[in-house]
Structure 1
């Protein structure tokens, strides 16, 4: 098998249009490894360069990849309200230690249409004093939307921060019925 075939199996990507703008979806043999917001050409190229560096493989655009085709289908269904959770294999290699533990708990324990506080999520993973570290984990989430960091909010009732921008977080929470739809 040539090196391109090996790369294709190792790191494949596509961009999908959504109600919050284009998302870059990237996958390895193990599963979906990265979701990137606002995937304009420039953002996409930077993200793919970082991924190639971190994973040690050249990214290959992969129309027809079964995993990415399924991810595109599920993301599309989520944004139309026809899907509430994702059933995709995930490659956790871009998250480690405490961040990985927190993100896994978030993925399995905070369902569609609900929110959790940073401190509550810290308690769920047995580190009640680590709410700031939970915030760091949310900010470094390599799989936003699929691993729903938009569902983590401040204990004061504020929506907290968000790597995709606060307007994107508001729109995701509105999609899930947590916030009202913006008037305009």
Structure 2
């Protein structure tokens, strides 16, 4: 038997198992929901993304901000998907998930860290109120921009923030998604 035949024989041996890969530093999956497809990502047990952004853009951002070891591995996100599905079905009102704002700017972190304390399920607040709450009363537009780039949509409820007159304004998933979420919470 030649060396080549020997190597080929080892490749076709039934004892040979497919390679296994270690868990990623950042595991992600695409999750279809009633409000659109969300890219969900977790790193170190914390949610780092729940985003409407496209896959290539988001994974590149994750690789730069968190770790270059970003792999599509849905299993580590089972709990995130389950909680999201329960929320979107109306059977869950809060998330029991740790969040890491690695993809957020310092100003976004200020806005997003404050958000859950001032927006309860089924209620809304305004961009101006959020700006005042973070001691930046003239920064309503900047708050809107920060919320529009929320890397952890739905889990951090930026959809509960509306215009001063109550009008629905921008949302990363579109106004129909924002309307869906607010209507869902109004029923609950």
TM exceeding 0.5? yes
Note the C-alpha offset of 1:154. Answer: 0.3
Report the equivalent of 1:131: 140
Structure 2 gaps of 5+ residues are 1-20
Judged with a 3 Å threshold, the aligned counterparts in structure 2 of structure 1 residues 152 and 18 are, in CA distance, closer, same or farther, namely same
**Are the equivalent residues in 2 in contact too, given 1:78–1:84 (CA < 8 A)?**
yes
Q: Please identify which structure carries the higher strand content.
A: 2
**Are the equivalent residues in 1 in contact too, given 2:26–2:41 (CA < 8 A)?**
yes
Report the equivalent of 1:47: 58
Could you tell me which of 85, 91, 96 is aligned with 1:82? 91
Q: Secondary structure at the match of 2:40?
A: strand
Report the equivalent of 2:74: 63
Note the C-alpha offset of 1:30. Answer: 4.9
Larger CA deviation: 52-61 vs 76-85? 52-61
| TM-score under structure 1 length normalisation | 0.83
Task: Report 1:156-167 matches (<5 A).
Answer: 156-167=165-176
Report the equivalent of 1:181: none
Report the equivalent of 1:101: 110
* Structure 1 segments (4+ residues) deviating >4 Å: none
| TM-score under structure 2 length normalisation | 0.82
Note the C-alpha offset of 1:9. Answer: 4.1
Larger CA deviation: 9-18 vs 152-161? 9-18
Larger CA deviation: 46-55 vs 135-144? 46-55
Structure 1 gaps of 5+ residues are 179-184
**Are the equivalent residues in 2 in contact too, given 1:141–1:149 (CA < 8 A)?**
yes
Determine the C-alpha separation between the residues in 2 that align with 1:59 and 1:118: 34
Judged with a 3 Å threshold, the aligned counterparts in structure 2 of structure 1 residues 59 and 9 are, in CA distance, closer, same or farther, namely closer
Number of equivalenced pairs: 167
Let me know the Cα RMSD of the aligned residues. Answer: 1.7
